[in-house]
Amino acid sequence: MSAAKPSIYPDTNAPFSFQINATDGAARAARVTTAHGVVETPGFMVVGTLGAPKGLTPAQLREHGAQILLMNALHLAWRPGEQLVKELGGLHRFSGWDGPILTDSGGFQIFSLPGLRRVTEEGAAFASPVTGDVRLFTPEAVVELEHALGPDLIMPLDQCPPQPCTPGELGEAVERSIRWAARCAKRHRELATPGVELFGIIQGACDEGLRRRSLEGTCALEFAGFALGGFCVGEPLEATRAGVAFTAPLLPVGKPRYLMGMGTPPDLLFAVAQGLDLFDCTLPTRNGRNATLFTSQGVLRVRNAQFARDGRPVDEGCRCYACRHFSRAFLRHLFLAREMNAAILSSLHNVAFYLTLMQGIREAIQAGRFEAFRKGFLERYASDAWEAGQAEE
């Protein structure tokens, strides 16, 4: 079965839908249809917290295969404010990205960013890192905020305690998140904004009992899809993977499954093998800004001295703009000269690498060879050996 070319052009009459087109073991190749286009899954959502990935334009993203962007409702509420975005036509028109958009509620940021916070059953009062003003984010207010922004997919307010925390604190956060999810779902139904769909979030860290409790309580509500939150917040990678492997098969089969905030290319392959569909992570652009590039052979730290006269592209198998036009030596030069194009070109390569990886995963699932694809990728992606051979400057 050949993969359909994803559409990024608006079709506000298209109803939301999720269709599984092929499976290979637990891995799924599917299609999420939104009011602003189709997302082929497994799919990676490029993170543009404030409306754009740092240093990259919508045209660059489209050229390299981006289907959907993730933006952060909490950060946009602080700056420039949801009312201004709404007055200027919503996030699609405001940002210049006319494909699907998912907004994260900011629940993770409320509990992870430093600053004044006070959590009660009513909601979370949090001081803006921009102005210092304290604003109360209730479940209802967060849904109203996201509807005002006008994305395609939205997330509810939840409580994500950092690790380590006590079993009592974790259990309290799970129960509160279930109650908040019900309030979010109710307000979402009341607003009934055309084209805006609400996902639920499963919490519980790496506690299987609490994960099951969160899943049962959240899945009892009416959500368009479900996400796994509360991972990669301080626990060991082995615990993260065990928690994902336990929870993923318990999610509803006929709805999109989204793993929040994870991770490296091996992480993505692992998660796809568990039956998850959508992913986001800041690694491609954050690492790009710090001269760390993803390649089919592993991680390349382009500032290192060994690349000073290296005329090869970052990844000889990559067809992104950066790899077609520039060498490792030139990128290293740009970083050492503190030229802004260094971060732009490296971020562009990393995003393209992730998007190309996801395309390869989709094609492998459809061809019934996902496990062979995963094994072959991981054998080439020997990041430890690759990095060990890179002498520090």
What's 248's DSSP letter? Answer: G
**Separation of alpha carbons 53 and 42, rounded Å:** 20
**Alpha carbon distance 313, 323 (integer Å):** 5
CA dist list (Å): 227 to 52, 164, 345: 22, 21, 31
Which residues are within 8 A (CB) of 31 and not within 5 positions of it... i.e. 6 or more apart?
Answer: 4, 17, 18, 19, 21, 38, 39, 40, 41
Tell me which DSSP letter residue 161 carries.
P
Crossing angle (nearest 10°) for helices 237-247 and 208-219: 40
Selected catalytic residue, list 152, 158, 267, 280: 280
Q: How far apart are CA 175 and CA 171, in angstroms?
A: 6
11 is catalytic: no
Q: How far apart are alpha carbons 332 and 62 in whole angstroms?
A: 26
Cα–Cα distance for residue pair 171/97, rounded to 1 Å: 39
User: Residue 86 and residue 247: Cα distance in Å, rounded?
Assistant: 37
Reported in sequence order, the residue ranges of 221-297 that DSSP labels E, i.e. its strands, are 225-228, 257-259, 278-280, 292-295
Catalytic site residue 104? Answer: yes
Query: Which residue among the candidates 104, 152, 207, 267 is catalytic per the annotation?
Result: 104
Provide the 10 A C-beta neighbour count for residue 306.
15
Rounded distance between C-alpha atoms, residue 218 and residue 197, angstroms: 15
Nearest-angstrom CA–CA distance, 178 and 156: 10
Beta strands 278-280 and 298-301, pairing class: unpaired
The residues annotated with a catalytic role in the active site are 104, 280
